[in-house]
Amino acid sequence: MTIPKLLTHPAAGFGSAALLLFAAAPLLLTDFRLGLLAKYLCIAIVAVGICLAWGRGGLLTLGQGLFFGLGGYAMAMHLKLADAGPGELPDFMVLYGATGELPWWWRPFESPLFALAATVLLPMAVAAVIGTLVFRRRVKGAYFAILSQALAAAFALWLIGRQATTGGTNGLTDIQGFFGYDLNDPVNQRTVYFVIAAALLAVAAGVRQLIHSRYGELLVAVRDSEERVRFLGYDPARVKLVAYVVAAGAAGLAGALFVPAVGIISPALIGIVPSIEFVIGAAVGGRASLVGAILGAIAVMWAKTTLSEEFPGAWTYFQGLLFVVALAFLPGGLASLVRKARERRSAAPDDAEDVPGAGADAAPAPVPASAKKPEGVTA
Amino acid sequence: MSRYFPRRVAAPAVALSAAMVLSACGAKTDTGSSTAKGVEADTSGDTVKVGLLNSLSGTMAISEVTVRDSIRLAIDEINADGGVLGKKIRPVGEDGASDWPTFAEKAGKLIKEDRVVATFGCWTSASRKAVKPVFEKSRSLLFYPVQYEGLEQSPYIFYAGATTNQQIVPALDYLKSQGKKSIYLVGSDYVFPRTANKVIKAYAKANGMKVLGEDYAPLGSTEFSTIANKVKAAKADAVFNTLNGDSNVAFFKEYKSAGLTAPKMPVVSVSIAEEEVKSIGPQYLKDQLTSWNYYQTTKGAKNTAFVKAYKAKYGKDKPTSDPMEAAYTSVHLWKAMVEKAKSFDPEKVKAAADGVTYAAPEGEVTVDGPTQHIHKTARIGRIGADGLIEQIWDSGKPIEPDPYLKGYDWASGLS
Amino acid sequence: MTELPGLRIRGLRVAFDGFTAVDGVDLDVQPGDLRFLIGPNGAGKTTLVDAVTGLVRATGSVEFGGRQLLGRPVHHIARAGIGRTFQTATVFEELTVLQNLDIAAGAGRGAGTLLRRRRSVPEPVTRALDTIGLAELAERPAGVLAHGQKQWLEIGMLLVQDVRLLLLDEPVAGMSQDERDATGALLRQIAEERTVVVIEHDMAFMRSFARSVSVLHAGRVLSEGTVADVQADPRVQEVYLGHAAAPAPEPREAP
Amino acid sequence: MTVILGQSFTGISIGAVLLLIALGLSLTFGQMGVINMAHGEFIMAGAYTTYVLQKALGDAGLSLLLALPVAFAVAGTLGALLEWLLIRRLYLRPLDTLLVTWGVSLMLQQLARDVFGAPNVQTRAPELLTGNVTLIGGDDPLTVANSRLFILGLALAAVAALALVLALTPLGRRIRAVVQNRDLAEVSGISTARVDRTAFFVGSGLAGVAGVALTLVGPIGPTMGTNIIIDAFLVVVVGGLGRLKGTVITAFVLGVLQAVLEYSTTVSVAKVLVLVGIVAFLQWRPQGLYTLRTRSLV
């Protein structure tokens, strides 16, 4: 292997990412900025799932807030109960008039194991139910996107309406401990950061494996021509379901890790607007490219923090512009620019290029001539 | 060979992180939080920074921008007057973007990165609840300018707005004195209205008033025909309104369309100040009631000067309102506390707080040390056709803050 | 070699919003046949194939090897050994030729295989690559293939899918004469082991390669038999040429 | 009894508002298949047009009447501009259109904030429209708000106008031709690009008209569009793409459903139930209430 080849090798990418996340960032950043980075990494975990479901599977998941929220609340419920101590009610319940009894659906979250499992499995189970129903009925494209949005909005409304048991608009806040460790302690905050960074690498590695597997090729095939795949004897509903459920699990995990990193989970993170914001990072970086989606999510979050510190109004314009430019004029995201540049430099085919869909990446799926109508449902 | 790589890399990554977790264990919760230290503010130079934390974008920007403006006015006045303890104040503004986690993040930035000596801001209870742990963990001070639902007393927050017994309870007293026997509760679906309504129901029960109905609309909801129908059918003597923001516009338009008027069934609002009157339109609000501690029309030389200074700085058509006045006052109160303590150190400022007074536009206010709330005068106002609010009743003297309503027997079951 | 199943259609009817596209078709395709379906535009040829493959809802009966197909989901019908192509070649443009074939070969794969990477080329895929003559282009994205090559790739996908019955919708449309001949030879070769039904407008192609022909008109089977039988049928001449009594329909370019 | 009647009318009037905000979408989304998330901001543009006209003219009644055509033109122009600048490049990518127009909506909101200020602005309603009509007198009178009657009338008039335009005018014929078979229409000499733009102009213009009507019942502010856009989309989706009839029926059914649920539960619960109900309904009829059965492959 030549040196340049080594540098572009995926393992080198993972290695340098690990180096950056575990060594460089903690050394260079203040505790506060590291905390912010932890938050960005959580969003990047959601973006990894979106990369799989949307970039590879063509499922525009505009309702990831739902799964992010399920994971976040599952984690926060346990932490609130742990803070309150055995037999005690969380502080907000006392304040907002619960009748002294812990609601039945809170009880299982007293167990740390149940809560931890629920952060990932609960969103996956919900996604499995939604996905089974929706994909079986061949609801797709924009219909699917609007339905996901409606569900996320409904979940946020439901949480808001049940203040005594969910904290209402406040959400669950003022979380003190994380499985016995005091979150006030900067050392523990750092640990939380490391956990999140490791989770991101693990999820990215897992999704990368999926993308490069036969399943990953099949998923791209379903994205580009679902009907054709069906005639090959596959059930596309099941192929899509897997991607959707995995993306939901990633979002749930991200939500769960967001709680100790930021110390709050609230309906404001679940509704329509945050759900769309989850997508923008992946869109800017390159929805079909794993690295693109991750870096895109981090960069957009970083831009939001920085720009909104200086010019709050400008951020909104900038965000709008990002959507327009990234999607209308650069559908492959920044990743497609990088790839083009690399291709121009070396005409020789690269080892890493045998990724399905790498060529045109997120360039729009070819649409049969008869499909000038919106993607929707078929008979 | 690249195809084998994910497992190879994933394994070291997991091992590495496991090692990190094991080696980097900090304090356990059960050992007490002794290792958690407050963040020291930077008071070394000849200026000190204070944080301004308000929503400049998103749904709450409507209200919070005006608060930001009045805080800046107060800071300008203090700087023109020589500053605090000989140091000029440098405001550092942050946008909470109407999003509670963002508030928490920005609070952290102000305290840890900018090392501000105090922070002024927040509006919704949700944003206050989100930043409360941040200020407590860092042992830094927040001055909160808006009336709220009470039942809170953070050691690192000064509450410059009214608590329930300075706004809601007086409004109920006023309705009772007017012979109103039944009320209908309408509010937005969030903490303040729900908690306020709990207080109102307890009061009503003890005072022989009937609560004929209680309805909540999601924040931002603009469809109120059903609620107007329900209110109309209930035939209450008065409506107690804790709706927030946009919803008020739709509610009052619907209320008027349903043929309900102030003489027939007055609405007492606790979230509508001069700024909101302007955006709803006096056409729909004429003669309706509000309960606050300050109006633009409040008498007194101090207020005349405040209103004049505000309009000079921000424009003739800009009204002043209660939260703006409270925010403005909170900056001056902080200055008085710091000067009494002769230090910017939060612990010393807290210790010096009790009994600090300031001649505010609303009249003289006094800090209550134990609760970190302010003694304030309650005022009932009536909205005029010109959009200004005219005071029709006041409590006569500042009311002692009682966030947990300990002084009221009927409130014993509330917290 | 096991007994090849045949296709048996009885009283097939497909209606869209009042318009009946297929109106009571009875059709038998014997195992190992190379059957051509011809007929003017709107005769119901493609709709017939749609109905057999489960794409549109239909009434009547479609049996393949004795198993009823109507009412079953598309992917079940596909797994029962029935494959089809479309008028416009639909291959997965962003995947390579090899990946296209590998997916076609894998409908029966379990989760374990699916979640792993493709390590080697399955034997049927290698064979299909040779059969359709695309071995050289195996690593190219299917999107860059020439039109005819895409059609061959589609046929190749049906081969690795190991279908017993191939339903091809205008496979030589837009091909050069050489390509047509190559395709025809390929179809003959395939028909030795499988049953093939071809929808075609190209009469010269039909004459060269059909073993039997069915003529559809207005949703019904008008005539059936060998090429010669059909050409001699006056009803067929009328449908194609109005009242003229030309001996045979002229070759006609597909649109 | 009065309550039931009153609530039924409330349902109808909620339905009328839904119909107005969804009507433009039934053209741009339902017929042309463009998912325009900035539709809500065109409604906002209509509302601000009313505000500006009233500032300029003073008279509430006159400015409201004048606002109807002006808002149609303003919002329509914005729509045509959006179509020309962005959407026409994206006809084959409906999902990307969704996100791009979302970005546009963000920018339009911020623009409104910068031009008109973050706080809501107010318009005076003409005195005639602030009162109500008593349908049943007596101790428990049943009254109907004039503003609601106006909106109901406006909604029905707009539906009738749109239906007539689609059915009778050359423009309508061209739109239908393009919707049914774009390629064939193109071959028959119809400039599909121009039809697209005109249809988008009309659909967006209808959003502007809805904005004028909303000034009578709700707030006028930068975020007014976001609050209603999803509702509008759901109406069109449930009604079935391409069917005006479906949109009309769905708007009123959802309005009445919302009113009934609001009355028997709470507003929040009603909203959640309606949303979940819609998702369940689409399970049962994924193509909505009314559908066009065609032979199209995808």
What are the tens digits of pLDDT across the range B82-100? 999 999 999 999 988 888 8
Domain membership of residue B146 (yes or no) is: no
What's the pLDDT at A331? 79
pLDDT score, position B92: 93
Q: What are phi and psi of D234, to 5 degrees?
A: -65, -35
Residue with tokens 């209205």: B193
| Residue keyed to tokens 């707009």 | D158
Helices (H), D86-191: 94-116, 127-130, 146-168, 170-180, 182-187
Q: Give all domains of chain C, ordered by start, each with its CATH number.
A: 7-241 (3.40.50.300)
Buried b (16+ CB within 10 A) or exposed e, A316-350: bbbbbebbbebbbebbbbbbbebbeeeeeeeeeee
A168 pLDDT band (50/70/90 cuts)? confident
Question: What are the chain B neighbours of A35 within 8 Å (beta carbons)?
Answer: 108
Q: Give chain C positions within 8 Å (CB) of A225.
A: 90, 92
Q: How far apart are CA B395 and CA D121, in angstroms?
A: 33
Examine residue B139 and state whether it is found in any structural domain, yes or no: no
Domain boundaries, position B272? 164-297+378-411
Q: Do A39 and B105 touch (CB under 8 A)?
A: yes
DSSP B211-276: EEEEEEE-TT----HHHHHHHHHHT-SEEEEE--THHHHHHHHHHHHTT--TTTS-EEESS--HHH
C40: Cβ–Cβ under 8 A, 6 or more apart, which residues?
C217, C239, C240
Q: Which residues pair with B120 in a beta bridge?
A: B52, B143
Q: How many domains does chain B have?
A: 1
The arithmetic mean of pLDDT across residues A7-14, rounded, is 71
pLDDT in tens, B112-165: 999 999 999 999 888 999 999 999 989 999 999 999 999 899 999 999 999 999
Contacts of B320 (CB under 8 A, 6+ apart): B70, B274, B296, B306, B307, B310, B361
Domain ranges (residues) in chain A: 3-271
Higher pLDDT, residue B334 or C122: B334
Question: Closest Cα of chain C to D179: distance in Å?
Answer: 17
Residue B109 belongs to a domain:
no
Which among A40-54, C69-83, D144-158 has the top mean pLDDT? A40-54
End-to-end CA distance of chain D: 50
Per-residue tokens: A106? 């809170």
Interface of chain D toward chain C, CB-CB under 8 angstroms: 292-295, 297
Q: Is D145 exposed, middle or buried (0-12, 13-18, 19+ CB in 10 A)?
A: buried
Contacts 24+ apart (CB under 8 A), D234-237: D234/A146, D234/A150, D234/D275, D234/D278, D235/D18, D235/D19, D235/D22, D235/D25, D236/D22, D236/D25, D236/D26, D236/D29, D236/D30, D237/A143, D237/A146, D237/D278, D237/D282, D237/D288
pLDDT for the residue numbered A265: 93
**Mutation for testing the D interface, residue in A66, A126, A147 having most D CBs under 10 Å:** A147
Q: Mean pLDDT across chain D, nearest whole number?
A: 86
The CATH number that applies at residue B198 is: 3.40.50.2300
Q: Mean pLDDT score of chain C, rounded to an integer? A: 85
> What spatial distance separates the first Cα and last Cα of chain C, rounded to whole Å?
39
Which among D93, D113, D268 has the least Cβ separation from residue A160?
D268
pLDDT at B12 over 60: no
More confident of the two residues B355 and A164: B355
Of C90, C109, C161, the CB nearest to A368: C90
Q: Which of the residue ranges A86-90, A225-229, B405-409 would you say has the lowest mean pLDDT?
A: A86-90
Q: What is the pLDDT of residue C249?
A: 46
pLDDT, tens digit, 9 for 90 and up, residues A132-141? 988 888 777 7
Asked if D45 and D208 touch (Cβ cutoff 8 Å), the reply is yes
Judged by CB atoms closer than 8 Å, whether chains meet at D143 and B258 is answered as yes
Q: Is the pLDDT of residue B415 over 70?
A: no
Q: Does A13 lie at the interface with B, CB-CB under 8 angstroms?
A: no
Length of chain A: 379
B121 within a domain of the structure (yes/no): no
Give the pLDDT mean for B294-320. Answer: 94
Among A161-175, B193-207, B387-401, D76-90, which is the least confidently predicted range?
A161-175
The whole-number average pLDDT for the span A208-237 is 92
Point out the residue among B215, B220, B232 whose CB comes nearest to the CB of D266.
B215
What's the confidence (pLDDT) of residue B44?
A: 83
Residue D221: the pLDDT is 86
**Per-residue pLDDT band at B26 (split at 50, 70, 90):** low
Query: Could you say which of A170, A181, A198 has the minimum Cβ distance to residue B129?
Result: A170
Q: For residue C244, what pLDDT band results from cuts at 50, 70 and 90?
A: very low
Could you tell me if residue B57 is inside a domain? no
Residue D204 has pLDDT above 50, yes or no: yes
Predicted pLDDT of residue B9? 42
Tell me how far apart the alpha carbons of residues C168 and C198 are, in angstroms, rounded to a whole number: 5
Residues in chain D closer than 8 A to A378 (CB atoms): 298
Is any Cβ of chain D less than 8 angstroms from the Cβ of A44? no
pLDDT of residue D176: 82
Using the CB atoms, write b or e for D30-58: b if 16+ within 10 Å: bbbbbbbbbbbbbbbbbbbbbbbbbeeee
* Residue C44: per-residue pLDDT: 86
Q: Which residue of D has its CA nearest to A54?
A: D95
pLDDT tens for each residue of D104-153: 999 999 899 889 887 788 888 888 888 788 877 777 777 888 888 999 99
Beta-carbon separation of D271 and A373 below 8 A: no
* CA-to-CA separations, B37 to B31, B32, B33, B40, in angstroms, rounded: 14, 12, 9, 9
- Radius of gyration over every alpha carbon of chain A, rounded to an integer in angstroms: 21
Q: Is pLDDT at B11 greater than 70 in this prediction? A: no
- Write down which chains contact chain C via at least 3 CB pairs under 8 A: A, D
- Is the Cβ pair C117, A228 closer than 8 Å? no
Three-class secondary structure of residue C55 per DSSP = coil
The predicted pLDDT at position A11 comes to 76
- Residue A115 pLDDT: 95
Q: What is the mean pLDDT of residues C195-224?
A: 89
Euclidean distance between CA atoms B260 and B249, whole angstroms: 15
pTM of the model: 0.88
Q: What is the CB neighbour count within 10 angstroms for residue A272?
A: 20
What pLDDT digit, counting tens, does each position of D208-253 carry?
999 999 998 888 888 888 878 888 888 988 888 777 888 999 999 9
Distance CA C140, CA A41 (A): 36
Supply the angle between the helices D2-25 and D39-57 in degrees, to the nearest 10. Answer: 100
According to DSSP, residue B396 is labeled S
Tell me the pLDDT tens digit for each residue of A314-363: 778 888 888 888 888 887 888 888 888 877 776 544 443 334 443 333 33
The mean pLDDT of B282-306, rounded to a whole number, is 94
Beta carbons of B326 and B145 less than 8 angstroms apart: yes
- Structure confidence at residue A366 (pLDDT): 35
| Shortest Cα–Cα distance, D218 to chain B (Å) | 4
Nearest to B355 by CA among B345, B342, B343, B370: B370
Residue B228, CA atoms < 13 Å, CB-side half-sphere = 29
Q: Do D283 and A276 touch (CB under 8 A)?
A: no
Q: How far is CA C108 from CA B316, C75, D35, in A?
A: 77, 11, 38
Q: Which pLDDT score, from 0 to 100, does residue C253 have?
A: 42
For C97-149, how does the pLDDT look when each residue is reduced to its tens digit (9 = 90+)? 999 999 998 887 888 888 888 888 888 899 889 888 888 899 999 989 988 88
A317-321, B7-11, B202-206, D153-157: which has the minimum mean pLDDT?
Answer: B7-11
Q: What is the ipTM of this complex?
A: 0.86
Residues 144-173 of C with CB under 8 A from D: none
Share the mean pLDDT of chain A.
84
Chain A residues with beta carbon closer than 8 angstroms to that of C88:
368-369
**Residue whose token pair is 């609303």:** B362
What letter would DSSP give residue D31? I
pLDDT-wise least confident of A207-211, A240-244, C5-9: C5-9
pLDDT above 70 (res B27):
no
A363 touches chain D (CB under 8 A): no
